[in-house]
Structure 1
Amino acid sequence: MGAIRITNMQFHTYNGVYAEEQKLGQRLQVDVELRLPIEAQVQHDDLKETVNYGDVYRAVAEFVTTHHYQLIEMLANQLLQHLQGLFAVSGITLRIRKGAVPIDGIFDTVEIEVSTDD
């Protein structure tokens, strides 16, 4: 099974529990992995035999910037379902990172990961 990955897509969004997050917004980072049988499926150097990366990027960007949730877990679940409906793949793993989290501590990001079954 092969995988197509687009990593560290960044979007300004208005997701969060707190009023400041919903008003000012913040940057989210998104990674998507699409699993499909590249070895068997791509035989003729033809884009129709695989997934168009540009279509994936546009689908993620449109969804993430137009849907607003309190929890990035909910955003991840809904985006995962949306991508499943758009792309004929065997499985998807999605990671969403948020750096501006109101936690008293030192860390880079909080990351949520969701996957479909292969």
Structure 2
Amino acid sequence: MAFNTYNGVFAEEKKLGQKIEIDCEMDYPIETLVRTDELDETVSYADVYETIAEFVAHHNYNLIESLANNLLRELFKTYPMLDGIRLRIRKYSVPIAGIFDNVEIEVAGSK
């Protein structure tokens, strides 16, 4: 998932914003819990996307680590049926000297 955000320590990041990408892996035992072809037996990817998009649109932090940790808590609160969640957040256009495509952090949690 890709979003434009205003997360960052530097004034340029807060003013101009930058692109981030978020990968979300969810642990949910579909092998045992999904027995029919009904959406209510699983977690809707569309709902998860909307939860993440809304959270990112309304929360700005100095650190993407804070964004990741708070988003992780929000996802567990919203989807308590999940056994585990892993988030990877990549940030582009980071205002530091060096040659790189992006910086990335990862957080994970489980029940």
TM over 0.5: yes
**Distance in 2 (alpha carbons) for counterparts of 1:104 and 1:19:** 16
1:33-65 deviations in whole A, cap 9, x for unaligned? Answer: 110101000001110110001100000000011
- 1:75-114 alignment runs, 5 A limit: 75-87=67-79, 88-114=81-107
TM-score, L = length of structure 2: 0.96
Structure 1 residue ranges (4+ consecutive) displaced by more than 2 angstroms after TM superposition = none
Secondary structure at the aligned position of 2:96 is classed as coil
Do structure 1's residue 62 and structure 2's residue 86 form an aligned pair?
A: no
TM-score, L = length of structure 1: 0.90
Among candidates 14, 18, 21, match of residue 29 of structure 1: 21
1:78-114 deviations in whole A, cap 9, x for unaligned? Answer: 0000000011200000011001112211111111100
Question: Mind listing any 5+ residue stretches in structure 2 that lack a counterpart?
Answer: none
Q: Report the AA paired with residue 72 of structure 1.
A: I
Structure 2 residue aligned with 1:11: 3
Task: Report the aligned-residue RMSD.
Answer: 0.9
Structure 1 residue aligned with 2:64: 72
Higher alpha-carbon deviation: 51-60 or 103-112: 103-112
Q: Report the AA paired with residue 46 of structure 2.
A: G
**Distance in 1 (alpha carbons) for counterparts of 2:110 and 2:28:** 12
**Distance in 2 (alpha carbons) for counterparts of 1:19 and 1:108:** 21
Q: Report the AA paired with residue 106 of structure 1.
A: I
Structure 2 residue aligned with 1:3: none
**Distance in 2 (alpha carbons) for counterparts of 1:20 and 1:108:** 18
Larger strand share, 1 or 2: 1
